[in-house]
């Protein structure tokens, strides 16, 4: 075991070649080709540049979605449905019942009206209760329910095929909703009569402006109210380390005494880091500093095509480990509380398991916020992951060097198309409403690119092959195991997370043996993390598993831990303090000039402004 705050001689061992192939982080060794009889020459592999170029062009046209994957899903679904006459009769009977119900409503013969789903606000306007709009609404809702039943998984078909078919049908229905039509939506008609058509003229001009901006690649104009460095990402601090991959920010103390052990925050590189340092009243980092913690946060670069060869292990070795080395030089002789959010939590778990394998005990605790270590139930994003889909994306990234911001955020928007695409379009282009600006909305539009090699490795080794929890993820030529980590865990999931579903996040309890505190909080992937004390309608559940406790499945855990009102932030700071030395100390200096880490400039640094 190393002493706390010291770095083993070889923090990152060299990656040796394995027998029969080359070792790759997160991938199986590539076996050597079988030998040919003497005198025979192996034919050269065909040049696939043309094929990859054509597939890259197709990928850009489809937003990175593989038509082959969609076609396979529909073929699987239709072939199984064709051999299920009982299911066909059930669907025919359901369609007949729905048609008769609509007919009775149209003739005024009664019948209960169907209510939209709780998260569907397209039909909130009171005009939808009047004819003929009510009938159109009811017809759409009936069709939506019929397709939900029709696309349920059939016995023998691949579950992912059913999910993909349901997804594609949902996208089509969202597009065909009567709420999108200027002649079928009573709210649009009322607004048009009220303004004399000015809303349509203004909306058309906005549409043209947005199309021209998209075609020219111009970013959205920055907000005057929400400005990075002034009202966003504005907690005082200094950049104390920088390499080509990230900047390390040390935040200025706000108390006379601080906890002896610092916190290192590893954010996701899929978006800018300041989701954790949003506005002054909505900043987790500011809250930690105000509670007497010394906080460091990584700010990842926004990769460009020249950085296409950055690997997943680069993000561990030259990212997380380089940041940890810098923190322990600035605050020597103590352990570090590491916190990872989303993808940052996944790479932190990989780094922590590698450190445990290599007997590096510099971590005092590990916090994972909405971060997955097992991807068997990875949620709706898994719809975009199979061999065909990944190969399609890899060809696009091979051509571009990176996965572009718009291509990435498009997939997230598609998961909630009725709200994030069509309802937004109706408000902006048909109702001509100015969208209210929020701090989280401005951050959400500030996306980043991802290097081709890293993203391909991440999708294959984690999402597709689930190597980390299966004990097949190699770092430096040797497999790592999450169970080697001895530091206590604080793991948080959010109730309505469609990116990292809480039941998937909870699986950290399956693959780790250390003390683990799990928190389930209200909200989604981002909104659930932003939970400052005093905010209304917030709740959470919390429970601790010791090393001697047996595993409890997610539903049993939720039943055994009733919800509590309020924010989970105080629970975390109390937990951190409990796992820290009891005696507070004087705040450390900003940076460590004598150790070669002088302050390089004020927070939020320079990488956060890269576009």
The closest of 376, 447, 367, 361 to 407, measured between CA atoms, is 447
100 is written with which tokens?
């008769």
The closest of 304, 159, 199 to 607, measured between CA atoms, is 304
**How many CB atoms lie under 10 A from the CB of residue 572?**
23
Looking only at Cα atoms, what is the longest distance across the chain? Answer: 87
User: Please, where are the H alpha helices in 122-269?
Assistant: 133-150, 159-176, 186-195, 198-216
Spatial distance between the Cα atoms of 307 and 317, rounded to a whole number of angstroms: 16
The closest of 533, 468, 532, 521 to 492, measured between CA atoms, is 521
Backbone angles phi, psi at 221, to 5 degrees: -60, 135
Spatial distance between the Cα atoms of 486 and 482, rounded to a whole number of angstroms: 9
Spatial distance between the Cα atoms of 235 and 216, rounded to a whole number of angstroms: 34
* Residue 439 · residue 232 · CB < 8 Å: yes
* Residue 296 · residue 370 · CB < 8 Å: no
Tokens 């062009």 correspond to 57
Active site residue 342: yes
Please pick, among 234, 301, 339, 342, the residue that the annotation labels catalytic: 342
The two beta strands, 336-341 and 263-266, are parallel
* Beta bridge mates, 475: 478
> Burial level of 351, CB count in 10 A (0-12/13-18/19+)?
buried
The closest of 399, 370, 418, 415 to 526, measured between CA atoms, is 370
CA dist list (Å): 459 to 71, 236, 267, 348, 450: 21, 36, 18, 17, 12
- Write out the DSSP string of 511-551: H--S-EEEEEESS-TTTTT---TT-TT-EEEEEEE-TTSPP
With vertex at residue 300, the alpha carbon angle to CA 249 and CA 457, rounded to the nearest 5 degrees, is: 145
> Burial level of 325, CB count in 10 A (0-12/13-18/19+)?
middle
Long-range CB contacts for residues 433-440, cutoff 8 Å, separation at least 24: 437/223, 437/225, 437/226, 438/226, 439/226, 439/231, 439/232, 439/278, 439/279, 439/282, 440/275, 440/278, 440/282, 440/526, 440/527, 440/530
Indicate left, alpha or beta for 330 from its phi (over 0: left) and psi (-120 to 50: alpha).
alpha
* Residue 143 · residue 173 · CB < 8 Å: yes
121 is written with which tokens?
């606000």
- The set of catalytic residues is 342
């Amino acid at each position: 075991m190393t002493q706390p705050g010291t770095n083993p001689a070889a923090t990152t061992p060299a990656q040796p070649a394995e027998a029969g192939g080359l070792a790759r982080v997160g991938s199986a060794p590539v076996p050597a080709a079988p030998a040919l009889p003497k005198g025979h020459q192996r034919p050269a592999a065909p040049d696939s540049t043309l094929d990859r170029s054509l597939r890259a062009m197709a990928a850009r046209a489809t937003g990175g979605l593989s038509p082959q994957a969609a076609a396979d899903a529909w073929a699987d679904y239709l072939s199984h449905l064709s051999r299920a006459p009982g299911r066909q009769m059930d669907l025919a009977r359901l369609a007949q019942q729905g048609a008769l119900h609509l007919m009775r409503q149209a003739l005024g013969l009664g019948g209960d009206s169907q209510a939209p789903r709780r998260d569907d606000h397209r039909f909130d306007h009171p005009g939808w209760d009047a004819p003929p709009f009510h009938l159109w609404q009811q017809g759409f809702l009936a069709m939506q329910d019929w397709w939900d039943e029709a696309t349920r998984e059939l016995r023998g078909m691949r579950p992912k095929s059913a999910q993909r078919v349901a997804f594609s049908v949902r996208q089509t229905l969202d597009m065909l909703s009567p709420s999108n039509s200027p002649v079928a939506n009573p709210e649009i008609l009322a607004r048009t009569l009220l303004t004399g058509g000015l809303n349509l003229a203004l909306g058309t001009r906005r549409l043209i402006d947005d199309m021209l901006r998209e075609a020219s690649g111009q970013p959205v104009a920055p907000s005057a109210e929400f400005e990075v460095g002034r009202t966003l990402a504005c907690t005082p601090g200094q950049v104390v380390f920088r390499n080509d991959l990230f900047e390390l920010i040390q935040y200025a103390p706000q108390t006379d005494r601080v906890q002896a052990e610092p916190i290192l925050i590893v954010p996701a590189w899929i978006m800018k880091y300041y989701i954790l340092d949003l506005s002054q009243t909505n900043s987790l980092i500011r809250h930690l500093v105000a509670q007497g913690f010394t906080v460091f946060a990584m700010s990842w670069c926004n990769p460009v095509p020249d950085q296409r060869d950055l690997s997943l292990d680069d993000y561990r070795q030259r990212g997380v480990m380089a940041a940890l080395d810098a923190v322990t030089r600035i605050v020597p002789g103590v352990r570090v509380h590491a916190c990872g959010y989303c993808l940052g939590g996944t790479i932190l778990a990989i780094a922590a398991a590698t450190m445990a394998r290599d007997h590096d005990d510099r971590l005092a605790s590990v916090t994972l916020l909405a971060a997955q270590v097992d991807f068997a139930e990875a949620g709706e994003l898994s719809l975009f992951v199979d061999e065909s889909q990944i190969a399609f994306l890899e060809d696009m990234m091979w051509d571009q060097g990176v996965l572009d911001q718009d291509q990435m955020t498009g997939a997230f928007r598609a998961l909630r198309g009725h709200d994030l695409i069509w309802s937004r379009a109706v408000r902006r282009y048909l109702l001509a409403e100015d969208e209210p600006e929020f701090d989280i909305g401005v951050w959400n539009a500030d996306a980043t690119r991802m290097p081709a090699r890293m993203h391909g490795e991440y999708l294959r080794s984690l999402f597709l092959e689930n190597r980390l929890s299966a004990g097949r993820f190699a770092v430096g030529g040797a497999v790592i195991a999450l169970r080697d980590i001895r530091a206590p865990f604080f793991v948080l999931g959010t109730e309505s997370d469609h990116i990292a579903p809480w039941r998937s996040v909870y699986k950290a309890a399956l693959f780790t043996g250390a003390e683990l505190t799990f928190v389930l909080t209200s909200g989604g992937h981002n909104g659930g993390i932003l939970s400052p004390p005093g905010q209304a309608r917030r709740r959470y559940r919390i429970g601790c598993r010791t090393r001697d406790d047996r595993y409890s499945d997610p539903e049993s855990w939720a039943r055994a831990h009733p919800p509590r009102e309020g924010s989970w932030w105080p629970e975390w700071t109390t937990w951190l303090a409990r796992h820290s030395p009891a005696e507070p100390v004087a705040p450390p200096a900003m940076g460590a000039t004598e150790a070669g880490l002088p302050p390089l400039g004020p927070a939020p640094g320079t990488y956060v402004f890269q576009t």
